[in-house]
Copies of this chain bind each other. A is one copy, B any other.
């Protein structure tokens, strides 16, 4: 039997990046798309704990059945596994995201929230992001590399509790793929401040990523800057083992 590949994203069912990924994945197996009905950028691993969720089937795309879920990317994965897929997927893919998920953007990323969810369910999971926000971004330049990563993961699998965060440089033909670590950084939290027609203030998030180690040559930020695709193995487990050892030896 062909492998079943579940595809989701955080940009919603209408995103060209999702369609591109469905199309490429269709070369490798049976594909089902389950994506949020509304855009879910920045939703991280959020789950809907106190509201109803709906599933709607929409027209097939490139031979794949396609569904929307009225929730977050993690809701999509959970509901897909429990109420949509006919058998256990071999692979979960998320993206291709319209926008970068390098550095610690993984903390906020809905794309990667879905990937970590797949991973915690014991399914090999990979997130793809193109470092370009436009809805008209060109996904074709990276297609051969996306194809290669899918083929490799289907062949070799991934360790338990390890997933992949793949970022693709914008507007260039990638020079290759580089395994690396996420750059350490934070977001500069500038908020735009406005005054509404009633004279009351409101705020709008507009931060940007500050790479705290711009000299490092082993990070995703570095390799993206060099024109390579970055591939960061990530884990949902967050215990800080080093500091735990210190605490236990006190």
The reply to whether B191 and A79 contact each other, CB–CB distance below 8 Å, is yes
Q: Does any Cβ of B come within 8 Å of A235's Cβ?
A: yes
The reply to whether B45 and A108 contact each other, CB–CB distance below 8 Å, is yes
The reply to whether B78 and A237 contact each other, CB–CB distance below 8 Å, is no
Chain B residue with Cβ nearest A179: B247
Task: Report the separation of the CA atoms of residues A42 and B202 in the bound assembly, to the nearest whole angstrom.
Answer: 25
Chain B residue with Cβ nearest A206: B49
User: Of B47, B51, B179, B189, which is within 8 A of A82 by CB?
Assistant: B189
Smallest CB separation, A42 vs chain B (Å): 4
The reply to whether B47 and A205 contact each other, CB–CB distance below 8 Å, is yes
User: Can you list 13 A-B pairs, Cβ within 8 angstroms, ordered by A?
Assistant: A42-B48, A44-B44, A44-B46, A78-B191, A78-B205, A79-B203, A83-B203, A120-B186, A161-B240, A180-B244, A232-B239, A234-B238, A235-B238
Residues of B within 8 A of A54 (CB): 200-203
0 or 1 for each of A181-194: is its CB under 8 Å from B? (1 = yes): 11010110111011
Residues of B within 8 A of A122 (CB): 186
Q: Does any Cβ of B come within 8 Å of A63's Cβ?
A: no
The reply to whether A238 and B236 contact each other, CB–CB distance below 8 Å, is yes
Of residues A49, A75, A104, which shows the largest number of chain B Cβ atoms within 10 Å of its Cβ? A49
How many copies of the chain does the oligomer comprise? 2
User: Of B44, B106, B162, which is within 8 A of A113 by CB?
Assistant: B44
Q: How many residues of A contact B (CB 8 A)?
A: 72
The reply to whether B244 and A179 contact each other, CB–CB distance below 8 Å, is yes
Residues of B within 8 A of A187 (CB): 78, 120
**Given A78-B191, A79-B191, A116-B107, A48 and B236 contact (CB-CB distance below 8 Å):** no
Q: With contacts A44-B113, A52-B202 known, what are 6 further pairs, Cβ within 8 A? A: A41-B49, A42-B47, A74-B108, A79-B191, A235-B240, A238-B238
